[in-house]
């Protein structure tokens, strides 16, 4: 039987698409299709053989539990858990086994704590147990991520950005695994992790709650000591029953998340105790009051003016992103990157990790990157968007076509939180598909897209502005998490990659989810913190467009009213940008100027200025006059040039009379002159 797509039922969708039989591969994106290809007996035998071979290297104790999960994820991600024709087969065998194990662990701890008989509770009185509040859904959320990553001013800013982003990602994985270890659980209990937050299923015992609260106190004490108020982690939980997790009665499942969200908001608004506030307002020693030259935090600095964290990130930034393994150690080495609970982060090769596992008594756990590995205390294969073809902004500015500029993209999925909590609600089927397993499956597919498949998307360019062919993207993934992306690179590649990302997400999710973005174009010397802030504002402007699925780029300060909102003239639905701005207006400009040498960018700059002031009738008259000057001399021009002018002028006259066309034309002209502008021109032509 084929595994059905989990997106078949998301956000009111009602399609029947399937995944091709196979195993999880980081270099091949599994898009759902209409074709229902069945697993063969040979394919099942091959999967069984690979699982068996991998099990030979596993010791059956807690140090290898996560390795077992790795094996199952690699081999069973596209095998359906049920082959019953009466059920919707959109939950993989891996997701089913993982969640079953996590729930079983919680039930065992809960019944042991209550000193109840498994047989009596689970078999003799099973219906009563469905309503017993035996589970606790817990969540963690880090605040301050944006400020931590982007508030830097240093050389090699691009490399440092990537290192800081990866460091926070790995810190969250470490924090999650530390909580699971303390609770006596494993990654089978992790429902979702990404973008600085996670959900974990715990038993509803007093001991589990005490561990959770003490864990939060210890963690935030460490954040306060190391990062002051820059980083903070909020934690909340909600007690629930088996029926609640199955959405019985209807609405009980989403109520769990609402309760957690309310707790989170309350906690974030009252972060610190009175004692902690007094500590923050107590002046430190003189040597603690200097500013780090990179992150601008106050604290001890070295001879280069860097705080310990920035100094460690600097020393590791050249290697931390290019190793296969990352190890957590119980250590207090000031040269290593600090992590909570007395740990540090170091990068490893396969050989050095084997030695560390065998010889280092302080070894805690290790993480692999993108490829699947098994071994003692190997916690997880981390999906990491690590695509990069350059090291500096200067390189990307020179790689850009036309003008020497870099592009910055920030994007995130529209209404993902709503989809996560209530995306499978559907009164037409009595909300029967609102289940924890479906939420877990959905969230894992989203993580794979943004953390793993993004590498393949950037490695195989599809869309180009001018129709040319490209073999790669001049781009670096600064961050790509559970639902959002930050890319930097050559400005033209950034625009094109944004289109690819949107189109592939639409295909991957069957159109059930959309993404909105902001794209900024800058000189390579522009401060990164300012770029990040400005592009975040552009992204926010895209969110005001009704229906979203939008992008904002190349603003000129003008705006228009749409459904009561002030919408930037640089904001478009993606289809409008692709089909009307680039496919229609840019193409018309490009086609015309490809057959005439009489006029160039200077003419288009003047047209652009007239379009920006088109509310003035005099400007309209000037616009008509400018177009008439384009007309080729009847005695000198050839037939092709005359025909091209006739087509071009008619389109330009038509577009200027309509506000929407006029806005699109402005953007198309700006993109054309950027693509056909070599180096720097005079300030008058910018």
**pLDDT per residue as tens digits for the range 154-193:** 667 888 888 888 889 999 999 999 999 999 999 999 999 8
DSSP for 503-516, please give it: HHHHHHTTTS--EE
Confidence of residue 506 (pLDDT cuts 50, 70, 90): very high
| pLDDT greater than 60 at residue 579 | yes
Query: Cα-atom radius of gyration of the chain, to the nearest Å?
Result: 28
pLDDT higher for 607 or 199? 199
**pLDDT per residue as tens digits for the range 186-210:** 999 999 988 888 999 999 999 999 9
CA distance 297 to 300: 9
| pLDDT greater than 50 at residue 682 | no
- Amino acid 154: pLDDT: 61
**pLDDT per residue as tens digits for the range 622-662:** 888 888 877 777 666 677 778 888 888 899 988 988 889 99
- Amino acid 59: pLDDT: 85
Across all residues in the chain, what is the average pLDDT? 88
Average pLDDT estimate for 568-589: 95
Helix (H) or strand (E) holding 649: helix 639-656
CA distance 495 to 498: 5
- Amino acid 330: pLDDT: 92
- Amino acid 288: pLDDT: 52
Place of tokens 């920035």: 310
Residues 6+ positions from 580 with CB-CB distance below 8 Å: 572, 664
* Nearest by Cα to 497 from 384, 414, 410: 410
* Nearest by Cα to 92 from 14, 39, 35: 39
- Amino acid 684: pLDDT: 39
Average pLDDT estimate for 73-97: 92
CA distance 392 to 377: 36
% of the chain at pLDDT higher than 70 = 93
CA distance 100 to 168: 30
| pLDDT greater than 70 at residue 316 | no
Confidence of residue 303 (pLDDT cuts 50, 70, 90): confident
| pLDDT greater than 90 at residue 306 | no
Confidence of residue 476 (pLDDT cuts 50, 70, 90): very high
pLDDT higher for 641 or 608? 608
- Amino acid 83: pLDDT: 83
**pLDDT per residue as tens digits for the range 21-69:** 999 988 889 999 999 999 999 999 999 999 999 898 788 888 888 889 9
**pLDDT per residue as tens digits for the range 329-359:** 998 777 778 899 999 988 888 888 888 888 8
Confidence of residue 292 (pLDDT cuts 50, 70, 90): confident
Average pLDDT estimate for 489-498: 98
**pLDDT per residue as tens digits for the range 395-417:** 999 999 999 999 999 999 999 98
DSSP for 389-428, please give it: S-SSHHHHHHHSSSS--EEEEEEEETTHHHHHHHTT--GG
* Nearest by Cα to 496 from 399, 594, 567: 399
**pLDDT per residue as tens digits for the range 417-466:** 899 889 999 988 888 899 899 999 999 999 999 999 999 999 999 999 99
**pLDDT per residue as tens digits for the range 509-564:** 999 999 999 999 999 999 888 999 999 999 999 999 999 999 999 998 888 888 77
């Amino acid at each position: 039987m084929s595994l059905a797509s989990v997106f078949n039922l998301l956000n009111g969708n009602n399609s029947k698409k399937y995944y091709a039989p196979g195993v999880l591969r980081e270099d091949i994106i599994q898009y759902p299709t209409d074709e229902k290809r069945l697993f063969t007996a040979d394919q099942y035998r091959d999967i069984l053989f690979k699982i068996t071979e991998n099990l030979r290297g596993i010791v059956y104790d807690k140090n290898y539990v996560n390795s077992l999960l790795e094996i199952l994820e690699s081999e069973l991600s596209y095998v359906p858990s049920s082959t019953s024709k009466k059920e919707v087969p959109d939950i993989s065998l891996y997701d089913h086994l993982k969640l079953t194990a996590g729930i079983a662990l919680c039930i065992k701890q809960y019944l042991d704590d209550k000193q109840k008989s498994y047989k009596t509770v689970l078999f003799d009185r099973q219906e009563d147990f469905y309503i017993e509040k035996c589970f606790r859904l817990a969540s963690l959320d880090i605040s301050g991520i944006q400020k931590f990553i982007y508030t830097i001013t240093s050389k090699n800013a691009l490399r440092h950005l990537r290192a800081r982003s990866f460091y926070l990602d790995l810190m969250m994985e470490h924090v999650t695994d530390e909580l699971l270890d303390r609770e006596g659980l494993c990654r089978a209990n992790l429902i979702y992790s990404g973008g600085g937050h996670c959900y974990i299923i715990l038993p509803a015992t007093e001991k589990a709650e005490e561990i959770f609260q003490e864990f939060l106190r210890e963690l935030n004490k460490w954040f306060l000591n190391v990062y002051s108020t820059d980083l903070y982690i909020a934690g909340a939980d909600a007690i629930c029953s088996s029926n609640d997790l199955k959405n019985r009665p209807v609405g009980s499942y989403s109520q769990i998340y609402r309760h957690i969200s309310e707790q989170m908001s309350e906690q974030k608004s009252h972060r610190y105790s009175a004692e902690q506030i007094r500590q923050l307002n107590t002046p430190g020693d003189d040597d603690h009051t200097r500013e780090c030259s990179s992150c601008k935090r106050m604290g001890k600095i070295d001879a280069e003016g860097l705080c310990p964290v920035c100094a460690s990130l600097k020393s590791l930034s050249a290697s931390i992103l290019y190793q296969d393994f990352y190890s957590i150690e119980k250590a207090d080495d000031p040269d290593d990157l600090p992590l909570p609970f007395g740990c540090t982060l170091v990068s490893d090769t396969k050989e050095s990790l084997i030695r560390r596992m065998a010889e280092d008594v302080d070894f805690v756990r290790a993480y692999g990157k993108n490829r699947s590995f098994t071994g003692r205390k190997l916690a997880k294969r981390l999906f990491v968007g690590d695509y990069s073809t350059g090291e500096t902004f200067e390189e990307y500015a020179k790689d850009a076509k036309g003008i020497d500029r870099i592009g910055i993209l920030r994007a995130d999925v529209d209404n993902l939180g709503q989809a996560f909590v209530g995306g499978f609600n559907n009164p037409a089927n009595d909300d029967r598909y609102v289940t924890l397993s479906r939420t877990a499956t959905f969230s894992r597919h989203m993580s794979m897209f943004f953390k793993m498949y993004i590498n393949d998307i950037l490695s195989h360019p599809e869309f180009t502005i001018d129709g040319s062919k490209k073999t790669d993207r001049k781009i670096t993934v600064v961050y790509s998490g559970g639902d959002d992306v930050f890319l930097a690179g050559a400005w033209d590649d950034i625009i094109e990659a944004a289109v690819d990302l949107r189109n592939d997400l639409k295909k991957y999710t069957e159109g059930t989810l959309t993404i909105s973005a902001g794209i900024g174009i800058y000189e390579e010397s522009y401060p990164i913190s300012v770029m990040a802030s400005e592009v975040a504002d552009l992204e926010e402007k895209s969110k005001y467009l009704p229906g979203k699925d939008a992008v904002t780029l190349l603003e000129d300060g003008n705006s228009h009213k749409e459904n009561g909102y002030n919408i930037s003239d640089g904001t478009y639905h993606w289809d409008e940008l692709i089909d009307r701005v680039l496919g229609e207006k840019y193409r018309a400009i490009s086609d015309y100027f490809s057959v005439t040498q009489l006029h160039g960018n200077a003419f288009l700059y003047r047209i652009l200025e007239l379009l920006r002031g088109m509310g003035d009738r005099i400007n309209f008259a000037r616009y008509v006059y400018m177009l008439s000057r384009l007309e080729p001399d009847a005695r000198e021009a050839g037939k092709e040039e005359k025909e091209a002018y006739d087509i071009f002028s008619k389109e330009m006259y038509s577009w200027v009379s309509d506000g929407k066309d006029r806005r699109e034309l402005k953007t198309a002209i700006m993109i054309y002159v950027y693509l056909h502008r070599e180096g720097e021109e005079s300030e008058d032509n910018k």
